Amino acid sequence: MTILFYISKRNSPIFNLFLKIKIMKTIISILCLFYLIFLGCTKQNSKTDPPLLNTHWVLSSIQNIRTKANLQFPLASIHTSEYITFTDSILAVKGICNSGKSSFLLFSYNDSIRIIGVGSTFIYCDFGNWEDYLWHNLDSAFSYKIDGNQLLIYSKGTYNLNFIAE
C-alpha cells in the first residue's frame, strides 16, 4: 500500500511542479557558477589610467610632428617643471616662469580636445623657448591619449606634448 501511495504521489501535479522548480533552480545555479568562474578568470588590468581631469600633468618631452624626434625637457635635473591641470571647467597651466589658464572642451567619443583662449603672464624667462613650446602647442591641440601614467596631447602646431602624471 505504501508503494502505491508513493507512486501516485510522484505522478501528482504538485510533485511535477516541485520537480520543475528544483530543475530550474539547479540550472540557474549552474549558470551562475559558470558566470562567476569565467568572470573570475578574466584578466583584470590592475593598473588603471589616471583620469584626465584633476590630475597634475608634468611636461616630460615634446615630439616634432614632422620628424617624430623627441626632445626631453632639459630642466628636470634642477626640479623645475611645466605642468597642466584640467579641472571641470578650467585648464590651469604653469610654465617655467609664467602661468595662465584657459577653458577647454572634451569630446570623449573620439578623445578630441579643444583648448580655447589660452591666457598667461609673459615675463622674460631664460628658457622662453620651452614656454613657447607649451603655450603655442596647447593653443592648437586637437586630440589627446592617456596611456598608463602618460598623457600625449596632439597639436596642429610644431610639437606634440608629452606629460607624465604626478
pLDDT tens-place string over residues 117-154? 888 888 887 777 888 888 889 989 999 999 999 999 99
pLDDT at residue number 162: 95
Q: How far is CA 25 from CA 9, 10, 13, 14, 46, in A?
A: 22, 19, 18, 17, 35
Please tell me which residue, 32 or 45, carries the higher pLDDT value: 32
Single pTM value for the model: 0.67
Mean pLDDT computed over 54-81: 83
Beta strands, E only, the chain? 56-64, 70-72, 83-86, 90-94, 99-107, 112-120, 141-147, 150-155, 159-165
Buried b (16+ CB within 10 A) or exposed e, 14-46: eeeeeeeeeeeeeeeeeeeeeeeeeeeeeeeee
pLDDT at residue number 155: 95
Give the H/E segment covering residue 37.
helix 13-41
What are the domain boundaries of the chain? 2-41, 56-165
Residue range 56-165 forms a domain whose CATH class is mainly beta
- Which stretch, 18-22, 29-33, 120-124, 126-130, has highest mean pLDDT? 120-124
